[in-house]
Every structure is written in C-alpha cells, then in structure tokens.
Amino acid sequence: MNNQNKMAPLVFQASGKSMLSRLSLFGTVLILAFLWARPANAASLTLTFSSDASGILLGGSGTSSSAMAFGSVHAYGGVVPGGVTKSVNGTTSWTLSTPIDVRVTKTGLGFSANYTMTAQLQTSGLAYTWKLGAATLTNAFPATVTAAGAYGSKAPYTFSLTIPFSASAGAVSNTLDIIVVAN
C-alpha cells in the first residue's frame, strides 16, 4: 500500500470568455429586473403654494399656480392688505412684504434628503426689486432660494417687492417661475 500522500496543485481553470459571458448575463438580468421593478413615474416631486397664517391670502392657495394681488397701494397712507408689511426706506423706495408657504413632497425618492428651489421672473422687473427669501429675482437666470429645502412641511418664504419713489404710478405685474429639484 502506498501511504505516501500525494500532493497535487490546486488549479482553477476557467475560460476568460466564459466568465465574461456569465457576468454579462448576470448584469443584464439584474439591470432589466431593476428597471422592471421600478415604473418610470415612481420618482416625483410636488410643489404647492399656500397662504401663510401671517401672510396675504393667495389666489389658488394649495396649488402650484397661485396669485398674489396687493391691490392699490401707496408709499404714504392708503390701505395695506392684511398680512402685508409696508416699510418706507428713507426717501428712496418702499417695500411690500408678505410670507407665503411652500410645500414640496416627494414620492419614490427615498435617497433624496432635501431639495433645491430656484425662482425666476417671467418678465423683466428692473424698475423694482423682487425677492423671495434672501434671493433677488430677475428674469435673467434662476436664483437659488434654498439649496436644502425640507420635504413635507410648509416652509414660509417671505416675498418682497421694493418700489422706488422714482417709479411711475401704475400697474405692476409679473410671475415668479419656481422650480424645485430633488437633491
């Protein structure tokens, strides 16, 4: 009897081509399964504006297309709408300001911790200064209002419109385009 242990080298043999094929097949199946399991419309955001308890009453409150009507306003005297603050800035300008609530909700974006919100005027408002929060708005480019907005809750942002004394009396009209992007 031969009790001598036989040593044999442990050899792994695999064809490079075969390994690549198996990996490719596995990867493809995985990706297709992933896509199959996730409908294209699963990830979404909703943006709505609503009247703040301390602010002006918005038209279309609770929707993504609201309206803010200050009515007839004067630098000196006159009537200030409810929820609106008027401040006279020396002898150069005056400002109307009011908070509005912004609510952003997410669906299928578990990985998104917060959102970025930008705002831009639809038309030039150079004679006046438009602000949302600390951001000054123009029609040239979107201004960042927040880079880390919290989902779910109503966040108040103060809108302000500053009117120079030198501006002519008359109608002021513009629209703020607001975009939120999941971070």
Partner 1 sequence: MKGKLLAGLMVLGLATLASSPVFAATTASGTVAVTATVASSVSLTFVTDPAGITLGGTGTSAATVAFGNVQAYGGVVPANVTKTLNGVVSWTLSTPFDVVVNVANQVSPTYTLTAQLNTADAVDTWKIGATTVTSAAAASLTATGAYGTTAYTLALTIPFTKPAGLISNTINFVATAN
Enumerate residues 119-148 that contact partner 1 by CB under 8 A: 122, 130
- Among residues 55, 94, 131, 143, the one that binds partner 1 under rule CB under 8 A: 94
Interacting span for partner 1 (CB under 8 A) from 3-11, 16-24, 145-153? 16-24
C-beta of residue 141 within 8 angstroms of C-beta of residue 179? no
CB hemisphere CA count around 15 (13 angstroms): 4
Residue 8: CB minimum distance to partner 1, A: 32
Residue 147: CB minimum distance to partner 1, A: 14
* Residue 124, token pair as written in the block: 């030039």
The answer to whether 167 contacts partner 1 (rule: CB under 8 A) is yes
Q: Running DSSP on this structure, what letter comes out for residue 47?
A: E
Q: Cα angle at 139 between 136 and 140, to 5 degrees?
A: 90
What is the rounded distance in angstroms from the CA atom of residue 112 to the CA atom of residue 109?
Answer: 5
Residue (46 or 140) nearer to partner 1, CB = 46
- Among residues 50, 85, 112, 138, the one that binds partner 1 under rule CB under 8 A: 112
- Among residues 143, 145, 155, 180, the one that binds partner 1 under rule CB under 8 A: 180
C-beta of residue 124 within 8 angstroms of C-beta of residue 117? no
For residue 146, CA distances in Å to 65, 77, 124 come to 20, 35, 22
- Among residues 70, 80, 85, 138, the one that binds partner 1 under rule CB under 8 A: 70
Interacting span for partner 1 (CB under 8 A) from 1-9, 24-32, 148-156? 24-32
Residue 119, helix vs strand vs coil: strand
Q: How far from the centroid of its chain's Cα atoms is residue 27's Cα?
A: 35
- Among residues 53, 62, 71, 153, the one that binds partner 1 under rule CB under 8 A: 71
- Among residues 6, 12, 73, 158, the one that binds partner 1 under rule CB under 8 A: 73
The answer to whether 47 contacts partner 1 (rule: CB under 8 A) is yes
